[in-house]
Amino acid sequence: MFKLNEKAAGLTPYAPNTAALPVRLDANESFLPLPDALREKILREALALPMNRYPDPEARALREAFASRYGVPAENVCAGNGSDELISVLLQTFLQKGDALATVSPDFSMYAFYGYLAECRHVEIEAGADWEISVDKVIETCNKENVRLLIFSNPCNPTGRGVPREEILRLVRSVSALVVVDEAYMDFWDQSVLNVCTEYDNLLVLRTCSKALGLAALRVGFAVGNGTLIGALQAARSPYNVNALSQCAAAAVLRETEFCDGAARALIAAKGALEAGLRRIAEETGGFSPVPSCTNFVTLRLPDAAALNEALRAAGVSVRHFGGLSALRITAGTEEENAAVLSAVRDYFAKEKKGGAS
């Protein structure tokens, strides 16, 4: 009988929230639909695609649209089937079995998952009590543990906290490891290292169309770095990794500067409103503290996160519960969605304050 190896037997599938609740604030997606005119333009272009042919293996038009929006050379950009695919490919490419991979904790769970598949040695660097990241500690650990690759999100998912650009560059200059900065949420903050990343031989930056640009369904992400790193990544990825419909649609959206800028501004404003609302409730009732966020979500820390999660579900609101961290991550939504979550949070803590919460 065929038996799975230890690695395959140890896998558990990624489990996103799938409950069909009316208010879905659990996956950090954008709440903004594409404007009708832009959707129609994409459809017209899609109709003209030769579906019997493989897509452009180099995703040229897509990379050029990204490069021109973000001010980087197109030849320094590698496109992926979501940045998730790029994380998987880059860990397999830049690490060999047994190499040390460092991640920060808490952070995006997929880093450790793909690191496991790449059979590397995992070094976890704990964030501070307020989830702040000490760059000195990261540097020290990387050098002491002979870390080959360090990957972390900035701003961080799930904490919402960010490390300033100068600190990131100091880190890159102070370690021999390849540093991969996942800037999935950097459209919501202004501390990107994208425009200088090609000057370093040990820095890769990841970006995605899934958050601020509102294209999570298309699965499009990017890696940017110097020619040597991007050349290796281009060689390692599968040849037609980004399908023709996604190439066409994401390129069309990236060219719409006004839509992209406006969408980021609207999501930042929505996060500001959600954060302010939560802060007001926290001041009134106590019981939890929203972590200041540089992203499109707000994370709450509280002793009984599971109970608040249940109360939100009962009110029809889906958020992301991190049991191990005793935290809830709430994506900023429309005014109505934010109102629904705020009212459910207020009710929960009002009851708890009266000692009535069960």
For 132, how many CA atoms within 13 A lie in the half-sphere containing its CB? 7
> Which residue, judged by CB position, is nearest to ligand PLP in the bound state?
82
Pairwise CA distance, residues 332 & 341, whole Å:
10
Gyration radius of the chain over CA positions:
21
> What's the closest the beta carbon of residue 128 comes to ligand PLP, in angstroms?
19
Sheet of 289-291: strands edge to edge? Answer: 289-291, 297-301, 327-331, 320-322
Q: Give the residue carrying structure tokens 């972390």.
A: 152
Nearer to ligand PLP by Cβ, of 159 and 309: the residue is 159
Nearer to ligand PLP by Cβ, of 184 and 193: the residue is 184
Does the footprint of ligand PLP cover residue 184 (CB under 6 A)? yes
Strands (DSSP E) found in 183-331: 203-208, 221-225, 289-291, 297-301, 317-318, 320-322, 327-331
Per CB under 6 A, the list member of 210, 241, 247, 299 interacting with ligand PLP is: 210
Pairwise CA distance, residues 147 & 142, whole Å:
5
Does the footprint of ligand PLP cover residue 182 (CB under 6 A)? yes
Per CB under 6 A, the list member of 26, 84, 337, 352 interacting with ligand PLP is: 84
Does the footprint of ligand PLP cover residue 162 (CB under 6 A)? no
Does the footprint of ligand PLP cover residue 28 (CB under 6 A)? yes
- 146 dihedral zone (left: phi>0; alpha: psi -120 to 50; beta): left
> What's the closest the beta carbon of residue 331 comes to ligand PLP, in angstroms?
10
Per CB under 6 A, the list member of 24, 59, 70, 82 interacting with ligand PLP is: 82
User: Residue 110 gets which letter from DSSP?
Assistant: H
> What's the closest the beta carbon of residue 184 comes to ligand PLP, in angstroms?
4
Does the footprint of ligand PLP cover residue 88 (CB under 6 A)? no
Does the footprint of ligand PLP cover residue 155 (CB under 6 A)? no
Contact positions toward ligand PLP, by CB under 6 A?
28, 82-84, 108, 153, 157, 182, 184, 208, 210-211, 216, 221
